[in-house]
Structure 1
Amino acid sequence: MDDFAGTQAPIHRLADPAEAVAALESAVPGLVSLRLPEPRNVDWRLVEAGLGTALPEDFKLLREFYPTFGLGDFLGFGGPERGGEQTWVQGLRETLEDVEEWCSEADLTVPVRPFPAAGGLLPWAGSNQGDLFLWATNPAGPQEWTVTVASRSSAWWHYTGGAVQFLADLVTGAVEPWALPRVRPDVARW
């Protein structure tokens, strides 16, 4: 039976989005060189209306000031572009079909479901090896969402911090990369 490998927690959850982005910039020194001079001004109301939920502020802040990028030639981070919000939402809905398939095939003690189910999983990043990085949504609001990792090798696990802090902790080694390769602090625009 496949099951969750477990749950990892940050020493201190970074609730301030700017603090989470700063932690990632510190963990990945080359990231700052990709910082956009102006925010991209994504129409987040349009994105969130299309999804039927608000999104975490750390994700939105990182997306506003950074292009789509890859970490350690493994994990890709992106999001909506100004003017392409509806296209991004549609792509995310298509990815949710994959998440639904993964959830139905996972033989977990505690079943998981895709968003929009209560506590459902919503993807926010992926790897070049087919791993998915998802938010475990929470009715208390997106600032309380945590991370669920669904690796291509069928290992599922949780991280009780936010997505941007997860990236920083994954790169620094503060979180064990269960069923994933170590992620180097190399960054490149995708």
Structure 2
Amino acid sequence: MTDALIETRTPKRRITDPAEALAALERAIPNLVDYLRPAPAVLDWALIEEALGTTLPSDYKHLAEWYPTFAIGDYILVSLPEPGEEHLVHRGFHSALDVLVDAWLEPDLGLLAYPAAGGLLPWSESESESESESDESDKCMWSTAGDNPQEWLVTVAGRGGAWWHYDGGAVQFLAELCDNSLEPWGLRIFEPEVTPC
């Protein structure tokens, strides 16, 4: 599906503070704040992370506490846990992993699925016309290498076969993709506007 693994893109500065990363995303997508919760959701992260077998990055958790699932530009679907549905979250991750294993992985390039050491764990994808086409969507994943999820890379797999890494967190990745400071290799251009899901 791919000729070669494209290089790693590195931001000018990796944002490590979850609130700062979220503020950057809110600046990049002005109407995102229309969907801001009045108070942060209380999510049972222990239940979610125990089911997955790993701690998740704090920027993703912070985003999920303040926002429900949303789509950017009717293109990128950012699925987030909902309070009271934590017991279902692992199913979404495992469903995405099944698609990844069946249709996307490039073992010859060392691209393996989580829970393999350093394996890829999907957290977002482009929207498809139907569920049966989910293997045709672009994928955004964490490369789970290392003991610290705050240092995981984002790995992107474009439906056209382009693979690349981004040396920053998921929320910073979305912010830079939406404010055009990150070249969208293999991803289509879209309007940085949020629609609820």
The answer to whether TM tops 0.5 is yes
Aligned to 1:40: 41
C-alpha displacement at 1:123, in angstroms?
Answer: 0.6
Q: Paired residue for 2:176?
A: 169
**Residue 144 of structure 2: aligned partner:** 137
Deviation at 1:102, TM superposition (A): 3.5
2:139 counterpart letter in structure 1? L
Which amino acid in the other structure matches residue 180 of structure 1?
L
DSSP-derived class of the 1:125 partner: strand
| Cα drift, residue 154 of structure 1 | 1.5
Partners of 1:94 and 1:103 in 2: CA distance: 13
Contact 1:7/1:157 (<8 A) preserved = yes
TM-score (norm 1): 0.94
RMSD: 1.4
Quick one: which amino acid aligns to residue 80 of structure 2?
G
What is the total number of aligned residue pairs between the two structures?
188
**Pairwise CA distance, 1:103:** 4.6
Correspondence 1:5-154 to 2 at 5 A: 5-104=6-105, 106=106, 108=108, 110-129=109-128, 130-154=137-161
Distance 1:95 1:86 in 2: 16
| Alpha-carbon distance, 1:101 to partner | 2.3
Deviation at 1:181, TM superposition (A): 0.9
Question: SS in structure 2 opposite 1:83?
Answer: coil
Unaligned runs of 5+ in 2: 129-136
Q: Quick one: distance in 2 between partners of 1:76 and 1:95?
A: 13
Structure 2 counterpart SS, 1:86: helix
Q: Which runs of 5+ in 1 are unaligned?
A: none
Match of residue 189, structure 2, among 167, 178, 182: 182
Tell me if structure 2 keeps the 8 A contact 1:135–1:148: yes
Runs of 4+ in 1 over 2 A off after TM superposition: 101-104
Identity %: 46
1:149 aligned partner, one-letter code = V
8 A Cα contact 1:170 1:183, kept in partner? no
Normalising by structure 2, we get a TM-score of 0.91
Q: Take 2:148 and 2:35, find their aligned partners in 1: how far apart are those partners?
A: 30
2:166 corresponds to which residue? 159
